[in-house]
A and B are shown apart, each in its own frame.
Chain A
Amino acid sequence: MKKVLALMLCFALTIGCLTGCGKAPAGEEAPAEGQNETTEEQEGAQAPENEDPGVELDMSKTVKIGVLVSDSTTAESLAFQSYYKDYIASNYNVELVYSDELTDAAGEKSAIDTFITNNCKAVISFSSFDRMAQLEQCAGAGIYYAVATGTLTDDEYAQVKDNEYYVGAIGPSLEIEFQTGYDMAKYYLDQGKTRFAIFGGAIPYYTEMHIYRAAGMLTAMVEAGGGDYQGASDKDAIIGKLFETASIETGSIGSVEILGYVGGYDMDDAWFAKCGQMAQTEGLEVILAVGNGSDFFGSSIAGTDVKIASVDAYATAYGEAMEGGMLDYLAGKFSASIGPIFIATYSATLGAPIRTEDGCALALSQGYWVATSAEQFNEFYAVDSSTEAPAYTKNMLDTLLGTDYATFEAFVSKYSFEEIQTMQ
């Protein structure tokens, strides 16, 4: 016991010495600016005062960039990882360091600590438990921070837009999430379908993007059905209702009927029974899913006329589901959509950050590719999954390195499949 205690004491002292002295980067005890105590390595990450987009960027040194992973197993996150690992990492002089799957804010903070330890010059975040804390931590350590496939709220953006370490956010805004749900429901309402069921995904956990997509669906139903949803008849009121209940009530919205609702991802016997009974509800025409629908309801509707519409990404499984009739409509993020935020981040680490005309961080919205047939899906998927010529190729992305805001904004705003094909 005594020997072990003595050894532990020695170990503690070693740790103490190492944490207390040596190269101390701007960390948790660093001043807010985090500039005076940055390491030699991090000096390269300092935001230069006078950037000149026209200057030649020095890309000879490998830049480490940390990637905060929110999910290791969904089609969407794997497609994103694949684009970074298989395309970006082999075409740019970067080393991408990935976190484990993150489940809470503590995990995010811990992962950023690991990135700082690994001398990452920037962090691209797919995780959204506490984005403001992520940025604060990165800025404190003098490294850049960017949000991929998401956006900050207006209030949050107003707080951080001037932070020199905040690169910005590119992804579907909540407005686009709303529109995605709206378009999906409208697609079927225009076909004369009136009997729906909704899969609410993470609505019970108050996940904003799922709530907004569902609100879009309900708004389209209110408009088409001529009634109201639980007394709410406009967009804001419906969003408020969903935040209040974290669930969707079944029943009639004028001439439109919501025959069933399942939320959450409990994945136990009761939950699968609920999914099965919802998919097999008599008279059901369409299942609208705020996330992945075919994986949970596809087998239950096999051989029926019920249609499934999902929001996710372009993955092989969905192509097969579309060909098999288990998926009818897919609003999918394309994997290369995270290319521009990478370029913006990389550019910043090279000393040429891309800012708005007012010198603020980026806040650009990007939407989905919508496939309504297997042929269309295959066309999109062929481009999306290509490691040779993905939607955004190196040549296209290179034009953004150190560019001005207008060029960057114009590039990002043309995100539809056709527009991107034209750019190529």
Chain B
Amino acid sequence: MKKGKKITTKILGIATIPTVTFIIMIILCAVNGVKLFETTGNWIAFFRAVTSVMLTTFALSINLNSGRFDFSIGSISLLSSIISSTICIKAGLTTPFMLSVSLISGIVLGALSGLVYVLIKLPPIIVSLGIALFYEGLSFAITNGYGVSFVANAELISFPSVAHYLEVIIIALCVIIILFDYTRFGYNYRALLSGQKVSVNMGIKEIPNAIGCYAIAGGLMGIVGFISATNTGNIQMALNFGSIGVMFTAFLPMFIGGFIGRFCNERIGYVLGAVTTALISLMYARLDVDSSVQQIVTALILVGFLIYLNNENKLKVLLIGKRGLHK
């Protein structure tokens, strides 16, 4: 009986937020006389958003959970997609190669960023500001400011499809779960996360672990860059921290994922967080919501959710009384 209740609680905990969001979005669209999912394009847009937001959330959370704030993930995404698309266009390579080169470039750029961090031992937020500026500048210098365009390259722009995005989601999720939950690296990561000093004193090598984290985050952002580039067939330049906006898309799904992670693996929580935000994004597109309204609504959702998370117990006391809480 107790086990059954536990499973029900788990299922409710996992499914409530995305399901309720889905229902609200469906209703909002219906009230305005449109369907949330009407065309194949809507499905592709939804899965693209899920994929890129999920990967960005993974990348952000890997370091943020360890207290390392990383402003440079957007610039890694930009630079790795520039490197991969330039190579693939010049060598006439196919989409899988572009994805692989993006991933590898992302890993290398991420590892370099981690290397700078461990070598100069400055707070990660400072290092990431410098790295973001450097990678943006390098992207600009490589392309002379023009960015890269391959809109007429039928092969490279053929990637966007529900099936491809699903493949990326599943593979990325599995790799991240295996890396962080079933390897020594993941064990060390979690140990360092819960107690840096104790772990270092116990002999856990923090430096390789930190570089590894940066490399993995970089690899994930390399894929985000690839997804973004193949969506439109061109890569726009960013200077003076223009690339950091990508990072902000990951906060809401990260907090939602953190909450759902109480009932299942945290990474699955991040996927569901990404699903939730992608549903909201699609609703904005379907209802043609003004961008300033979008920004305000998303911010209010973020703050509202954080208020709930940080005051859960107080709210419960308020709603069901102290006795109910201790039952």
Contact = CB atoms under 8 A, between A and B. Distances in A.
Partners in one complex: yes
Interface of A: 72-73, 75, 78, 100-101, 204, 264, 266-274, 276-277, 279-280, 294-296, 298-300, 302, 315-317, 320-321, 323-326
A320 B152 CA distance: 6
A326 B249 contact: no
Contacts of A270: 281-282, 284-285, 289, 291, 294
A294 B49 CA distance: 21
Contacts of B237: 72-73
A381 to B, nearest CB: 14
Given A269-B281, A270-B282, A273-B281, A295 B41 contact: no
B234 A317 contact: yes
Contacts of B44: 276
A279 B232 CA distance: 12
B282 A273 contact: yes
B291 A274 contact: no
Contacts of B233: 295, 298-299, 326
A298 B233 CA distance: 8
A16 to B, nearest CB: 30
A393 B281 CA distance: 50
B48 A269 contact: yes
B271 to A, nearest CB: 16
B152 A324 contact: yes
Contacts of B249: 268-269
Contact of A277 (B160, B285, B291): B285
A326 B236 contact: no
Contact of A295 (B45, B151, B281): B151
Nearest first, the 9 closest Cβ-Cβ pairs linking A and B are A324-B152, A317-B149, A273-B285, A273-B45, A270-B284, A298-B151, A73-B237, A269-B49, A269-B281
Contacts of B149: 295, 316-317, 320-321
Contacts of B236: 73, 267, 295
Nearest to A317: B149
Interface residues of B, number: 44
Main secondary structure of the interface of A (DSSP, over half): helix
Contact of B146 (A78, A266, A271): A78
Contacts of B302: none
B239 interface: yes
A295 B232 CA distance: 6
Interface in B240-271: 240, 249
A357 B148 CA distance: 47
B28 interface: no
Contacts of A324: 151-154
Contacts of A73: 140, 145-147, 236-237, 239
A271 B152 CA distance: 22
A204 to B, nearest CB: 8
Given A72-B145, A270-B284, A272-B232, 8 more contacts: A101-B239, A264-B291, A269-B48, A277-B286, A280-B39, A298-B152, A299-B157, A299-B231
B321 to A, nearest CB: 41
A269 B39 contact: no
B216 interface: no
Contact of B41 (A264, A269, A277): A277
Contacts of A323: 152
Contacts of B231: 272, 299
Contacts of A268: 249, 281
B278 interface: yes
Given A277-B45, A280-B41, A269 B151 contact: no
B282 to A, nearest CB: 6
B52 interface: yes
B283 to A, nearest CB: 8
